[in-house]
Chains A and B, each alone.
Chain A
Amino acid sequence: MNSSVSFLIKLAAFQASCWAELYMLNYILKRLLSTIPVLIGISLLLFFMLRMLPGDPAQVLAGQMASPEEIENIRHQLGLDRPIYIQYISFLGRLAKFDLGRSARTQNPVIEEIWARLPNTLLLAVIAIALACLVGIPAGIISAVKPYSWIDYLVSITALFGLSMPVFWLGLMLVVVFSIVLKWLPAGGTGSWQHVVLPSVTLAAFVVAFIARMTRSTMLETLSQDFTTTARSKGLQEWVVIIKHALKNALIPIITVVGLQFGLLLGGAVLTETVFAWPGLGRLIVDSILARDYPVIQGTILIFGLLYILVNLIIDLLYALVDPRIRYD
């Protein structure tokens, strides 16, 4: 009798876990499918970008110095003499193979130029977002725990200043203080950990304000909920209530903001990399715009778009892991 009851309980648990996995799988599939229209939109944007430019797209892609043979070669490769939808399909085929053409400046394959610089931008972005979380989340928590105190005002004012400050100006001022006056850190370039400090701090300052603001407002909300009052009435220590009960429940909006800030960070990277002569994707796109190197511009925009979509996809999947209600929705 006992063994059959325990078998039934195990079966029910197994069934529940199967359903949970199925819901999760369904959620992942739905979320993946929802990126398809955006991917099509990006491909259309890139495809028509060249055709919006004045002049012959083959000439534009080949660059000003290209010979007539090279231009003819590109024209044939792109199929510019064929109907527009055929051109688009062949463009999609090339995108799927990450064949982004050759740089008009260096004649190197665009994808090679991008791969060579992508790790530098990612390194800067990851360190900056980690720094921003390390500063922004505790600042937001302290601000929420002591609302309308001097520390709350200090955090709020600093956050507002952070939101209004031009990132490139902050970078220049950090160079003046830490490289020119104090001579502690290099003003630009790569090669050692010291080179990473100023660019990543500059980039982190760009997003820390958003994270601190969001942490404050969500923590204020969760700290006034019934479950925190219950936790306090059970006699738990205040830090346990804040970290284990309030922060855990405030995590989803905070994760959302961190994900959204990643996009802002990519935009900021363009400016920060220019200030510190950091050889990343941001610098690459600016140099390419100045040199009218359209294959590289197209490729870099594509990679930026894909990176942003990927990060948001990961964030959405993280929600479902953190909060099961989302995958059942």
Chain B
Amino acid sequence: MTDSIDGPLRRKWAKLKRNKAALLGGILIIIYVTSALFAPVLFTGNPSAPDLMNSLESPSVDHPLGTDELGRSILGRIIYGSRISLLIAVGVVSVGMTIGIPLGLVSGYYRGKVDFIIQRATDTMLAFPGFLLALALVAVLGVGLKNTVISIGISMVPLYIRLVRGCVLSVREEVYVEAARAVGTRDVIILIRHILPNVMVPITVQTSLSMGTAILFAAGLGFLGIGIQPPTPEWGSMLGSARSYLFHAPHVATFPGIAIFLAVLSFNLLGDGLRDALDPRFKI
């Protein structure tokens, strides 16, 4: 019995481990998480404290990635910035999943009028490209960490609704669901115990890819000056302020960009690897 459960899982895990790109993505994510958790150990100073005597310095032994316009260490701000970015990524997918998964389950399971209403609302949200929807929501909610997470999270909701609904439509016709219904199991129990576990594979893949997108969107909003506000060390807003010093100190704009790129790449690599290992049929 244990073998029948462990066997496929082990095979999938072995397949994931063999995927070098996914492994690289996983290692990069571990590095980011470690630097986020141990930021005060890795950088002992205050990443937001200005030091105007050392502004716009090139990379040196004291400041391996140089300093910004206020003399703050770019390395220190990137390390602390990983906290913000990971916090946003986790927050965004939590909002997206908390709203999107139940709506997708209900929409696909009950069909009919409920499905029609949820799907038309989803269509409306999908009529706006994700980043623009987040931008519109920020315009209403205002700037800051909480509102950035809510805005980007809501822009992810239609993706989860569509994904979950699509999977539920096929799973609800399975014999075990019909059997559960036949013995009088309540719909909530059927949805949580029988259907949800069977749609977890695409949700897992989507979550990894969405975390990369969330980091990219948050950095975009920060860059435009309508996301996380200075002096909080956030990669996008670091790039936004570096724009004014591009001619004199291009390094100020180079390193935060590399940090964003590698973070997004790591989640994309892991997402692709998970998709190939868990179920190659689910092409997102």
What's the least CB distance linking B218 to chain A, in Å?
A: 11
Contact of B127 among A41, A176, A288 (CB under 8 A): A41
A38 lies within 8 A of B120 (CB)? yes
Taking the complex as formed, is B226 at the interface, i.e. its CB lies under 8 A from any CB of chain A? Answer: yes
Chain B, interface SS category: helix
The size class of the interface chain B forms with chain A is 35 or more
What's the least CB distance linking B272 to chain A, in Å?
A: 8
B220 lies within 8 A of A176 (CB)? no
A304 lies within 8 A of B124 (CB)? no
Taking the complex as formed, is A161 at the interface, i.e. its CB lies under 8 A from any CB of chain B? Answer: yes
What's the least CB distance linking A65 to chain B, in Å?
A: 19
Contact of B246 among A37, A163, A175 (CB under 8 A): A175
A41 lies within 8 A of B140 (CB)? no
A309 lies within 8 A of B268 (CB)? no
What's the least CB distance linking A153 to chain B, in Å?
A: 11
Contact of A38 among B123, B260, B264, B265 (CB under 8 A): B123
> Chain B 243-277, CB within 8 Å of chain A: the 1/0 string?
10011001001101100110011001100100000
A267 lies within 8 A of B130 (CB)? yes
- Name B116's closest neighbour in chain A (CB-CB): A37
The complex places the Cα of A274 from the Cα of B130 at a distance, in Å, of 18
A173 lies within 8 A of B257 (CB)? yes
Taking the complex as formed, is B132 at the interface, i.e. its CB lies under 8 A from any CB of chain A? Answer: yes
A169 lies within 8 A of B239 (CB)? yes
The complex places the Cα of A53 from the Cα of B242 at a distance, in Å, of 32
B220 lies within 8 A of A271 (CB)? yes
The complex places the Cα of A205 from the Cα of B121 at a distance, in Å, of 31
Residue count of chain A within 8 Å CB distance of chain B: 46
The complex places the Cα of A53 from the Cα of B168 at a distance, in Å, of 36
B223 lies within 8 A of A271 (CB)? yes
The complex places the Cα of A180 from the Cα of B248 at a distance, in Å, of 9
The complex places the Cα of A172 from the Cα of B256 at a distance, in Å, of 12
B225 lies within 8 A of A41 (CB)? no
Taking the complex as formed, is A79 at the interface, i.e. its CB lies under 8 A from any CB of chain B? Answer: no
Taking the complex as formed, is A160 at the interface, i.e. its CB lies under 8 A from any CB of chain B? Answer: yes
Contact of A41 among B121, B216, B226, B261 (CB under 8 A): B121
Contact of A172 among B123, B125, B239, B264 (CB under 8 A): B239
Taking the complex as formed, is A9 at the interface, i.e. its CB lies under 8 A from any CB of chain B? Answer: no
The complex places the Cα of A44 from the Cα of B127 at a distance, in Å, of 13
Taking the complex as formed, is A1 at the interface, i.e. its CB lies under 8 A from any CB of chain B? Answer: no
- Say whether, besides A164-B212, A267-B132, A274-B224, A176 and B219 are in contact (CB < 8 Å): no
What's the least CB distance linking A41 to chain B, in Å?
A: 3
* A-B CB contact pairs (8 Å), 9 listed: A37-B123, A37-B124, A38-B120, A41-B120, A173-B257, A176-B253, A267-B129, A267-B131, A301-B136
